[in-house]
Amino acid sequence: MTRTLGVVIPTLDGGERFAKCMRSLATQRASIAGVVVVDSQSRDGTADLAREHGARVEVIERTNFDHGATRTLGARLLPQVDTIVFLVQDAVPLGENCLAALAEPLDEPGVAAVTARQVAPEDASGLTHATVSSSPFASSEPRRTGPFEREVLSAWTPNDWRAAVLLDDVACAVRADVFEAVGGYPATPHGEDVLLAYDLLWAGWSIAHAPEAPVSHGHEYDATSVYSRYRDDAIFFRERFGLRVRPSFFSMLKGFLSEVRRDERILAAHPEWNVKATHDRRSAVRWSQVRAQRAGSRGVLGSLPTPRPLPSPAELRR
């Protein structure tokens, strides 16, 4: 099946990485019916650049940005398509077949969403290479999560769910009919892709991973910026899934040692990555990371969310 794609990209001062993303989209062999850029009042010409590449640009107030609602707005501004591709502004599809390969698993019965394979930018530091390559979204093997019987899902712990909600809209494709049926992403300041994955799995859908669809993406965190990122993630799982990512001081220490040792193993196996990141810097970032997870784990514990109504694969075929 030849799928018709629409691409949604939220932006804020996208810079050169966004320019690379737009240039890559122009080379894709997939059938792209439209690109919607939802821009939060960029000051660096991001919106103008998007228009030069033929994208529809919707400008919103910076204060109105929401990770879920803003992406849903973009999806609803697309022309009629059967596949919605979500990208972040600094994710660069690699190769002209990237988006076609990303959408291909949606032809399999019961697959509602697909993630791309993330690889660090060539000029990234060793720390960024280690972080990206250890992610499940960097896997070079295809993966399919689901479907699961509801009796199985009902017995899952928050930790089980955290391991299963493998959807990342750094670069992903979602069936447009499923996205519309569930009401798009929920409005949320964090974790919109995780919440969508939760709804999909509860309704009996599967989530696939397409290693043949690589995108270049990675962040150069320092001890300050990594703290904010991982604290927010821990708060999200505590409040929305009832999970304390780092429940104790001991778990924080254990996590730090695990992160540092993993970095050392990865960089020893890839000496070409061991650039621009001293051992001291890596340790400082990892210590800040686990401290942030511990901080975000403190507070009132929430519970697993109620899944939103969504037809099952069998029901949607009727």
Per-residue pLDDT of 293-307, as tens digits, reads 999 999 999 999 999
| pTM to 2 decimal places | 0.95
**What is the 3-state secondary structure of the chain?**
CCCEEEEEEEECCCHHHHHHHHHHHHHCCCEEEEEEEEECCCCCCHHHHHHHCCCEEEECCHHHCCHHHHHHHHHHCCCCCCEEEEECCCCEECCCCHHHHHHHHHHCCCEEEEEEEEECCCCCCHHHHHHHHCCHHHCCCCEEECCCCHHHHHCCCHHHHHHHCCCCCCEEEEEHHHHHHCCCCCCCCCCHHHHHHHHHHHCCCEEEEEEEEEEECCCCCCHHHHHHHHHHHHHHHHHHHCCCCCCCHHHHHHHHHHHHHHHHHHHHHCHHHCCCCCHHHHHHHHHHHHHHHHHHHCCCCCCCCCCCCCCCHHHHHC
CATH fold of 4-219 reads: Spore Coat Polysaccharide Biosynthesis Protein SpsA; Chain A (3.90.550)
Tens of pLDDT along the chain (318 residues) come to: 789 999 999 999 999 999 999 999 999 999 999 999 999 999 999 999 999 999 999 999 999 999 999 999 999 999 999 999 999 999 999 999 999 999 999 999 999 999 999 999 998 988 999 999 999 999 999 999 999 999 999 999 999 999 999 999 999 999 999 999 999 999 999 999 999 999 999 999 999 999 999 999 999 999 999 999 999 999 999 999 999 999 999 999 999 999 999 999 998 888 887 655 566 688 999 999 999 999 999 999 999 999 999 999 999 874
Q: What is the pLDDT of residues 152-170, one digit of tens each?
A: 999 999 999 999 999 999 9
Domain boundaries of the chain, sorted by first residue: 4-219, 223-297
